[in-house]
Structure 1
C-alpha cells in the first residue's frame, strides 16, 4: 500500500513537470522578443542617427524632385538615315561605319554616276529635350550627329506615346539640330533653360537621356570643369565636363542643374572602352539659345561675318605686342573689303571685347561673332600699338565663297619676332632687326608682291621696323598701297607694291 502511494506521488510529480515544460515551450514560441533568434524585419540599426537619416531623406527627396521636373521634357529619338558607301567589292576601303558619329560627309550623297557606291539605311537612337512650343508644334533640341540628314524620325515621349518627327534644321559646326513634332496632348512639358555662364566647378548636375536604349535614365554627378575645348568634328563649342555617367544614346539629352534647368546638351565622352569613364562633355546651353530661333526661322544657322582670321598667339608674340597680361584673340589677317576692314580693324589688332563682353579666347569670339545678326552693328575693343581703340563694325552674313577667296586675305602671312633663338637658327647678325616672314598663304597679297618664307622685313613703305609691334603699327597706317624692304639671303631688296 505504501509502495502504491509512492508510485502515485511520482506520477503526479512527473505529470506536473511535463505540463510546466509544455507551458514554457508554448510561451517561448509566442514571444520572439525573448528568444535568441533575430528577424530582419524587426532589426533597426542604432548606428544610424535620426539626423543622418533626415539628411539622406532630404537628399533623396531632392533627387526625386529634380528627376520628376525634367523627365517629362526628355524624349528618345529613333532615326533612320539613308547613307551611301562604296561597294565593298570595289576594293576602295572598308565599307562599314557607325551611325551617329560626327562626320563632315554626314548625309551627303555621292555622284549618282559613282557605280562603286550603294545606299543603305542606317538606324540609330539618341535623346532630345523639348525646348519650344508653337500651337500644336513642339521643338526638340538635340545633336546634329544624332539626326544627320534623317529620312525618318520617331519621337518617343516620356508617357510612352510616339509621334512622327521632322528635321527642322541642324548645324555641324556647333553639333546641334532641331526636330519638330505635332501633338494635341496637354501633359507635354517644355524644359526650362538655365544660364550656363553661371555654372561652376563642383556644381551638382543630372544627365538625362536614353543611354544604350534605356529610356528616361537619370544619372547624377558634378561639374568637373568648364570651358573645355576639343571634341569631335572640329566644332567651335566649349564644353562643360561632368562625371555624371554618359553613354552612347545620351547624345542630345540635357544636362540639368539642381533647379531642374537645362544648362547643357550632352554630346560626347572621352573613353578608351566606349563606355562611361567619368569624362562626359556637354554643349553649354547659352551657346545654342540664339540658334534655336535661327533653326526655326531659316532651317540653318546664318553666321554673322566680320572678315577676320583669328589666332591664339604664343607667348613670344604676346610679349612682342605688349599684351601678355591680357586675354583676347589676335587678328592675324583681315579680308580686304570685309566688314572688319571697312570698320577699321587691321592685322595685328588684339581683340579684347565685343559689345562690352570680354574675350576669353578665339573659340569664344568666333561663337559670339557667329551669333551676331547680319545688318547689326557691333563694337569691338582692340589693342593696337599699346593703346585701346573702339571700332564699330556692320555685320554681314557669312558667305563661304568669300571666306575661301585667298586673294582677299591681307597680308597673307604671319610675321614673327626676331628673338635670339631665331637669329641663331637663321645665322643672322645679332643686331639684325625686323620681322621674320612665315606661313605664307597661296594666292594672297603676300605672294603677289613677292614675299618668301624666311624673308626678313626691315621696312614698311620705307619706314624702318625693328620688331613685330612696329611692323603692325606701320602696316595699319597704310592707306592706298604697301611695299616692303626685305633681307633675303644676305641681299636687300624691295617688293612689288600692293594697291588696295
Structure 2
C-alpha cells in the first residue's frame, strides 16, 4: 500500500515537474519567437539555418524597386560638305545646299537606372545623375507596368532626386530604416537593374558605415558594401534583413566598370531628408551654422592634450550667425552633433546638414578640457543681397557664364564655405569663351584689372566695354589666382 501511494506521489511529482518545465519551455519559446534586433545578429548554427533563404525579404521589397528610363534631346552641329552646293551632287545624293556650314541635328540621349518607391502615392527616390537634364522620365514596375514620371526635386549636392509616378495608386512601397543603427558586418541586399538585364538581387555585408573621400556628392558620408553593384544599379535599394531601406545605391569603385566588391550607398537618413524636402515644397533647405571647421590631426590632438585625434576644430565664427548666437568660439572642439559622434569635417557636414529647419540640435564641445553642451538653432541662411542672376553674352572672357551675387543663402546652396560676398559663377555654357578660358561653376570673381567686382551688374557693365588686356582675379577652392588674357 505504501508502495502504491509512493508510486502515485512520484507520478504526481513528475506531472508537476512536467508542467513547470512545459511552462518554462513555452516561456523560452515565446522569447525566442520574438527576438530583439540585437538577437537577429546570429551566426548560422545548424544545417537548417544554413538553408535559410532571403526570398521572403525580396518578395516584399522587389515590387517597390523600379527601373528608371530618362531621355533628353540634344542638338548637334553637323558639318556639311560644300560639294552639296553643286546641283550635280544634289541630284545624286538628294542633299540640300549647305555651303560647308554647320547644320543642327537633333538626337535623343537616354540613360537607365533604378529607383525606390517610398510611399503608396508613387513617390520615387533615385540618383540625380540618373535623370540629369532629362526631358522625359518613365518608370517600369516589377510587374512590367510602365508610367510617365514627374520630376519633383533635384538635389545635385546629395546626388538625389525625387519623382512622382503619373498613375493611380496605391503602389507597393518600402519604408526607411534608421541607417545610423547599421553596424559593420550586418547583412544587406542590393536590388536594382544592372546593365539593363532586369531586376537583380545581390547580397553582401556592410563594409563601412561612414566612408568619406568618395568624391560623388558634396556630403562625403556613405555606407560601403561588398554586395555587387553594377552600372544600372544607381538609385536602387540597399535593404536590411527586415526589408527596410538603409541606403540608395550610388557608386562603385572599379577600374574595369564592373563590380569589385566596393560599392557605396547614400544613407537612408539623407534620403529621408531629401524626401521630406520634396513634401514641403520641393526645395532643399539646409540649416546655416555660420562657422568653419578643420580636421584634427595628431599634432592638433597633442596640443589640445587629447589622447587621440577626435572631433573637428572650429576655425572661424561669423558675425550674426547661429554659431555666434549659441556661443561657439574659435578653437572649440566639436565632438558630437545631436548625440552622434563626428570624426572629420565630412561627418560634421553630414550630421548638421541633415537636420530639419525650425528645430534645435545640441553640439557637444570640449573647451579648456571641459565638455560643454551648446544648443544650436536650425535656421536657413539669410539672403542678405538680391541674387540678380545674369547670363553674360558680350564678347569677353565671361561670355557664356551665368553669375550670381553671393550671400550666406547662395553660399550654403552651392557649397562655398565661408564666402558670403562677391560674384560667383553658377554655370558655364559648353563651347563658350568662359568654357575655353577655363572658368568653372563655383569660381568667385574677385577683381578685373585691379578693380574689385562687387555685383553682377558691375561685372556685366565691364564686359560691355572690354579693355585691351584682361587681368582677372579668380578665387577657387579658397585660393586666388590671376589670369591675364589679351
Q: Secondary structure at the match of 1:396?
A: coil
Matches of 1:157 and 1:301 in 2, distance apart?
27
- Return 193-202 or 69-78, whichever deviates more: 193-202
Q: Secondary structure at the match of 2:195?
A: helix
Q: Secondary structure at the match of 2:259?
A: coil
Select 2:347's aligned residue among 347, 359, 364: 364
Closer, same or farther: CA 116–389 of 1 in aligned 2, 3 Å: farther
Q: How does 1:294-305 map to 2 (within 5 A)?
A: 294-305=277-288
Closer, same or farther: CA 349–84 of 1 in aligned 2, 3 Å: farther
Length-normalised TM-score, structure 1: 0.60
Q: Deviations over 1:435-485 (max 9, x none)?
A: xxxxxx999xxxxxxxxxxxxxxxxxxxxxxxxxxxxxxxxxxxxxxxxxx
Q: How does 1:177-216 map to 2 (within 5 A)?
A: 177-185=161-169, 188-216=171-199
Greater gyration radius: 1
**Does the 8 Å contact 2:189/2:239 carry over to 1?**
yes
Closer, same or farther: CA 54–119 of 1 in aligned 2, 3 Å: same
Matches of 1:248 and 1:316 in 2, distance apart?
42
Q: Deviations over 1:271-316 (max 9, x none)?
A: 0100111111111212222221112222231010111111112211
Give the equivalent residue in structure 1 for 2:66. 75
Matches of 2:206 and 2:54 in 1, distance apart?
16
Asked if 1:290 corresponds to 2:273, the answer is yes
Deviation, structure 1 residue 340: 0.9
Give the equivalent residue in structure 2 for 1:138. 122
Q: How does 1:372-383 map to 2 (within 5 A)?
A: 372-383=355-366
Deviation, structure 1 residue 320: 1.3
Q: Deviations over 1:219-246 (max 9, x none)?
A: 1222222211122344314222222111
Give the equivalent residue in structure 2 for 1:427. none
Q: Deviations over 1:351-397 (max 9, x none)?
A: 12323333333222212222333343333222223233333332321
Matches of 1:138 and 1:177 in 2, distance apart?
14
Q: Secondary structure at the match of 1:267?
A: strand
Deviation, structure 1 residue 266: 0.5
Q: How many residues align?
A: 329
Q: How does 1:452-491 map to 2 (within 5 A)?
A: none
Q: Deviations over 1:183-242 (max 9, x none)?
A: 3355x3111222222222222221111100022111122222221112234431422222
Instruction: Structure 2 unaligned segments of length 5 or more: list them.
Output: 1-44, 80-101, 383-405, 422-443, 447-486
Q: How does 1:83-122 map to 2 (within 5 A)?
A: 121-122=108-109
Asked if 1:236 corresponds to 2:219, the answer is yes
Closer, same or farther: CA 83–352 of 1 in aligned 2, 3 Å: farther
Asked if 1:386 corresponds to 2:369, the answer is yes
Q: How does 1:309-328 map to 2 (within 5 A)?
A: 309-325=292-308, 327-328=310-311
**Does the 8 Å contact 1:237/1:283 carry over to 2?**
no
Length-normalised TM-score, structure 2: 0.62
**Does the 8 Å contact 2:252/2:264 carry over to 1?**
yes
Closer, same or farther: CA 386–220 of 1 in aligned 2, 3 Å: same
Q: How does 1:306-455 map to 2 (within 5 A)?
A: 306-325=289-308, 327-398=310-381, 401-402=407-408, 403=411
Closer, same or farther: CA 407–164 of 1 in aligned 2, 3 Å: closer
Q: How does 1:5-24 map to 2 (within 5 A)?
A: none
**Does the 8 Å contact 2:67/2:193 carry over to 1?**
yes
Matches of 1:378 and 1:269 in 2, distance apart?
33
Give the equivalent residue in structure 2 for 1:129. 116
Q: Secondary structure at the match of 2:284?
A: coil
Q: How does 1:484-499 map to 2 (within 5 A)?
A: none
Closer, same or farther: CA 180–388 of 1 in aligned 2, 3 Å: same
Q: Secondary structure at the match of 1:305?
A: coil
Asked if 1:152 corresponds to 2:140, the answer is no
Deviation, structure 1 residue 338: 1.4
Instruction: Structure 1 unaligned segments of length 5 or more: list them.
Output: 1-50, 90-114, 410-440, 444-500
Cα RMSD (Å) of the superposition? 2.9
